[in-house]
Structure 1
Amino acid sequence: MPAQVEHFRWRQQITAARDCDEDLDLEADAVVIGSGAGGAAAAYELASRGLAVVIVEEGDYYDRSHFSGRLTEVVPKLYRAFGSNCATGNALIPVPVGRNVGGTTTINSGTCMRTPAAVREHWRARGLGDFSDAALAPWFEQVEAMLKVQPADPRHVGPIGDIIDQGAAALGFEARHPLRRNAEGCDGQGLCQFGCPTDAKQSTNVSYIPRALERGAFLFTGFRATRLERDGGRVTGVRARGRDGQGGTVRLRVRSRAVVVAMGTFFTPLFLRRQGIRNRHLGRHLTLHPAGVVNALFPDRDLANSRTIPQGFGVADLADQGLMFEGGTIPLAGHGLLSNLNGRDWVRFTESYPHTAYFGFMIRDTSEGRVRPGPHRDWPLIRYHLNRHDFRLFLRGVDTLARMYFAAGAREVLVPGPEGITRLKDLHQLEAFLRRPLKPRHFLITAYHPLGTARLGRDADDGVCDAEHRVFGQPGLYVMDGAAVPSSLGANPQVTIMTLAGRAAARLADRLQDPQGRKGQTGETRP
Structure 2
Amino acid sequence: MADQTALTRNPTARALTASLFPAGRTLPAADAEALLTRVGEHALLARALRLGLLWLDARHLLRHGRRFHRGDTPHRARFLDRLSRTPVSGKLLRAVSLPLKAHYVFDRDVEARTGCRPPVQVPSQVEHFRWQQQITAAGDCAEDMELEADVVVIGSGAGGASAAYELASRGLAVVIVEEGQYYDRSHFNCRLTEVIPKLYRALGSNCATGNAIIPVPVGRNVGGTTTINSGTCMRTPEEVLADWQARGLGDFSAEAMTPWFEQVEEVLKVQAAKPEHVGAIGDVIDRGAEALGFQQRHPLNRNAEGCDGQGLCQFGCPTDAKQSTNVSYIPRALDRGAFLFSGFRAERLHWHGDRVTGMTARGRNRDGRSVRLTVKSRAVVAAMGTFFTPLFLRDQGIRNRHLGRHLTLHPAGVVNAIFPDRDFANSRSIPQGFGVTDWGKQGLMFEGGSVPLAGHSLLNNLYGEDWVRFTEDYQQTAYFGFMIRDTSQGRVRRGPHRDWPLIRYRMNDRDFAQFLRGVDTLARIYFAAGAREVLVPGLDGLQRLHSVAELERFLAGPLKPRDFLITAYHPLGTARLGRDPDDGVCDAQHRVHGRQGLYVMDGSAVPSSLGANPQVTIMALAGRAAARLADHLQEHQA
TM > 0.5 between the two?
Answer: yes
Q: Is 1:345 aligned with 2:454?
A: no
* AA of the residue aligned to 2:496: P
Aligned-pair CA distance for 1:456 = 0.2
Please list, as runs of the form range in 1=range in 2, the aligned pairs for 1:76-95 lying within 5 A after superposition: 76-95=197-216
For 1:345-494, what aligned pairs fall within 5 Å after superposition? 345-494=466-615
**Structure 2 counterpart of 1:373, which letter?**
R
CA-CA distance at 1:2 after TM superposition: 2.2
2:534/2:546 contact within 8 Å kept: yes
Partner residue, 1:249? 370
Tell me, in whole angstroms, the C-alpha distance in 1 between the residues paired with 2:586 and 2:418: 48
Count of aligned residue pairs for this structure pair? 517
State the secondary structure of the residue aligned to 2:625.
helix
How far is 1:516 from its partner? 8.5
Spell out the pairing of 1:5-404 with structure 2 (5 A cutoff). Answer: 5-404=126-525
Unaligned runs of 5+ in 2: 1-121
Counterparts of 2:587 and 2:233 in 1: how far apart (Å)?
Answer: 26
Query: Any conservation in 2 of the 1:292–1:444 contact (CA below 8 Å)?
Result: yes
1:2/1:198 contact within 8 Å kept: no
Q: What is the CA deviation profile of residues 59-99 of structure 1, one whole-angstrom value per residue up to 9, with x for unaligned ones? A: 00000000001100000000000000000000000000000
Name the amino acid aligned to 2:590: H
Aligned equivalents of 1:445 and 1:304: distance in 2?
A: 24
Return the alpha-carbon distance in structure 2 between the equivalents of residues 93 and 38 of structure 1: 24
Query: 1:401 aligns to what SS in structure 2?
Result: helix
Structure 1 position 4, deviation (Å) = 2.6
CA shift digits 1:382-412 (9 cap, x unpaired):
0000000000000000000000000000000
Task: Report if the CA contact (8 A) 1:79-1:98 is conserved.
Answer: yes
Q: Structure 1 residue 21: deviation in Å?
A: 0.3
**Which residue in 2 is equivalent to 1:498?**
619
Q: TM-score, normalised by structure 2?
A: 0.81
Would the aligned equivalents of 2:460 and 2:540 in 1 still touch at CA under 8 Å? no
SS of 2:438's partner is: coil
Moved over 2 A (4+): none
1:229-261: CA deviation from partner (whole Å, max 9, x where unpaired): 011221111100000110010000001000000
C-alpha offsets along residues 476-495 of structure 1, whole Å, 9 cap, x if unaligned?
Answer: 10000000000000000000
3-state SS of 1:51 partner: coil
Provide the C-alpha distance between the structure 2 equivalents of 1:304 and 1:279, rounded to a whole number of angstroms: 49
Q: Secondary structure at the match of 2:198?
A: helix
2:635 to 466, 490, 514: 514
Shift of 1:341: 0.7
Structure 1 residues 454-463 or 297-306, which shifts more? Answer: 297-306
Partner Cα distance (1:271, 1:246) in 2: 27
Contact 1:339 1:421 in 2 (8 A): yes
Q: Which has the larger radius of gyration?
A: 2
Structure showing the higher strand proportion among its residues: 1
Distance 1:364 1:136 in 2: 21
Query: Could you give the per-residue CA deviations for residues 109-130 of structure 1, whole angstroms, max 9, x where no partner exists?
Result: 0000000000000000000010
Q: Secondary structure at the match of 2:427?
A: helix
* One-letter amino acid of the counterpart of residue 448, structure 2: G
2:467 aligned partner, one-letter code: W
For the 8 Å contact 2:211–2:562, the answer to whether it is kept is yes
CA RMSD of aligned residues (A): 0.8
Structure 1: tracts of 5 or more residues without a match: 518-527
Deviations 1:454-473 (A, max 9, x none): 00000000000000000000
In structure 2, how many angstroms separate the alpha carbons of the residues matched to 1:301 and 1:123? 45
Deviations 1:428-448 (Å, cap 9, x if unpaired)? 000000000000000000000
Q: Distance in 2 between matches of 1:159 and 1:479?
A: 41
Distance 1:138 1:276 in 2: 36
Q: Is contact 2:410-2:569 (8 Å) kept?
A: yes
Question: Percent identity over the alignment?
Answer: 80
Rounded Cα–Cα distance in structure 1 between residues aligned with 2:202 and 2:536:
28
Matched to 2:504, the amino acid is R
Q: Which has the higher helix share?
A: 2
Q: How far did residue 282 of structure 1 move?
A: 0.1
Q: What secondary structure is seen at the aligned counterpart in 2 of 1:306?
A: coil
